[in-house]
Every structure is written in structure tokens, then in C-alpha cells.
């Protein structure tokens, strides 16, 4: 992963009225659970079934992403992210999970695996799908996103598709849960309050729908799942 100031130089299109949100759900824990690969893999397999989106967006299309988990050389657990090229028309330079729109006649599950193969050369047969996280809706781009958690047991080499992925990030779950990495902001947009999640990594920021999915995953993993009742997740195209 590219090193640099925590959070990097990504420009976040914040509205004028932003207030500090809630602390991370896992901040109340005396200690974090075992984050070794074997322990995380076992815990992920016991996740409850993912819920449908709490709010519907008119005329939305289905999309699917893969939250791919891989063992590190030291036996801990890493999450695979991609950085979108600056040449992309939407969400250029942003951090995301491998994924994309579900094609006609395709299941969301198969779409997540196909997109991961196309974007980072992760072969579907190398992935054991452990379940689905909560679906969520994006407002401006009108997608209903179905996130799937996949376990990649064996050592594999990931290769970015040059037209779709600028770089691949493998970030340790322990880093994502470190103090000071996560923060929440509440955005005032169109008369509504929107809780926005942010993860400030070395040289990069994870935010928007990707951060919302990640927060759902980490909440389940640590047993501190946030309460229900979240609004649909806004993204930069609602504001720009």
C-alpha cells in the first residue's frame, strides 16, 4: 500500500455543515478479539444472513462487491481493496471493493466473483464465499449494493486490471481497528442528516458506501454491530 500522510490527499466533497459523529462501535471493547486468519475465518462463517436495504431508491440497479479476506505472511487477516484510476468518470481515485453492476441473468453472488476476477485476477475457485453482509442503497448513483464476504485460503497473486484498477491495497484488519483510523461525520444534505464513515489509512481514505460496508463487516467481526436504522448511504455524486 502506498505510504504517505494518514488519509492521503484525496479531496472529500464535504458540505458546509458537518458535525462529529459517533465513535467507532468497537471503541467500548476492553480488548479486540483474536484477529488471526483462522479465528477470523471461523467467525465470518457464523455471521447472520445479510439484511435487505433498509431504504429503497427508485429505479435502482443491482450491484455486488466482494469483501475478500486473505491471510498475511504473519498469519493475520487482510482485506483487499482497489484504488480506482484517475481516468474513471465516476469515483476516480477512490478506494473500493472489487465489484460492479450485476449483468442480466446473473446472480449477485456470481457478479461479485466475476468482478473480482476481472479487476484483480482473483480466480473464483480460489474464493470460499462465507456469506453476505447487509445490502445498502446509494442515492445519486441509484445502486442497491450486495456485499459478499469471501475467504481466500491459499496464497495467490493479485494483478490489477489496468483500465479499472490503479492499484491493489491489502490492509490488515488490525490496522482498520486501530484507534484514530475510523471516524464518523454527520452531513447535512437536502434537509437530512447522513452518518458518513471514514477510515484514514496511510496515504488513502476509505469513505462512502465502501466505508459503510466495511463498518458493517467490522461491527459483526468484533461483536459490536451498530444499531439498525441507518439511512441510505450518500456518495459524492449526490453532492457534486
What CA–CA distances, in Å, run from 12 to 28, 160, 240? 28, 24, 11
CA distance 111 to 114: 5
Tell me the percentage of the chain whose pLDDT exceeds 70. Answer: 88
Q: What pLDDT score was predicted for residue 171? A: 97
- Which residue stretches of 72-147 are H helix? 108-120
Which tens digits make up the pLDDT trace of 168-179? 999 999 999 999
Bigger pLDDT: 89 or 150?
150
Show me where the domains of the chain are located.
18-24+33-239
The fold of 18-24+33-239 is Nucleoside Triphosphate Pyrophosphohydrolase (3.90.79)
Q: What pLDDT score was predicted for residue 120? A: 98
Which tens digits make up the pLDDT trace of 193-220? 888 999 999 999 999 999 999 999 999 9
CA atoms within 13 A on the CB side of 81: 26
Amino acid at each position: 500500500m502506498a505510504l504517505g500522510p494518514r488519509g492521503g490527499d484525496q479531496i472529500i466533497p464535504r458540505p458546509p455543515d458537518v458535525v462529529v459523529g459517533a465513535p467507532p462501535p468497537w471503541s467500548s471493547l476492553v480488548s479486540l478479539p483474536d484477529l488471526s486468519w483462522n479465528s477470523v475465518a471461523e467467525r465470518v462463517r457464523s455471521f447472520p444472513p445479510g439484511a435487505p436495504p433498509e431504504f429503497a431508491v427508485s429505479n435502482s440497479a443491482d450491484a455486488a462487491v466482494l469483501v475478500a479476506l486473505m491471510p498475511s505472511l504473519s498469519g493475520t487477516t487482510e482485506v483487499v481493496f482497489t484504488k480506482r484510476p484517475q481516468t474513471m468518470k465516476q469515483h476516480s481515485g477512490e478506494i473500493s471493493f472489487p465489484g460492479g453492476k450485476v449483468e442480466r441473468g446473473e446472480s449477485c453472488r456470481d457478479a461479485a466473483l466475476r468482478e473480482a476476477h476481472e479487476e484483480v485476477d482473483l480466480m473464483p475457485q480460489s474464493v470460499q464465499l462465507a456469506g453476505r453482509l447487509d445490502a445498502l442503497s446509494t442515492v445519486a448513483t441509484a445502486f442497491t449494493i450486495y456485499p459478499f464476504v469471501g475467504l481466500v485460503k491459499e496464497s495467490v497473486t493479485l494483478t490489477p486490471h489496468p483500465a479499472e484498477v490503479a492499484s491493489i491495497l491489502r490492509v490488515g484488519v488490525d490496522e482498520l481497528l486501530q484507534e484514530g483510523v475510523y471516524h464518523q461525520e454527520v452531513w447535512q444534505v437536502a434537509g437530512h442528516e447522513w452518518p458518513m464513515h471514514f477510515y484514514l489509512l496511510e496515504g488513502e481514505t476509505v469513505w462512502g458506501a465502501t466505508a459503510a460496508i466495511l463498518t458493517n463487516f467490522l461491527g459483526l467481526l468484533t461483536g459490536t454491530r451498530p444499531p439498525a436504522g441507518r439511512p441510505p448511504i450518500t456518495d459524492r455524486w449526490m453532492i457534486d
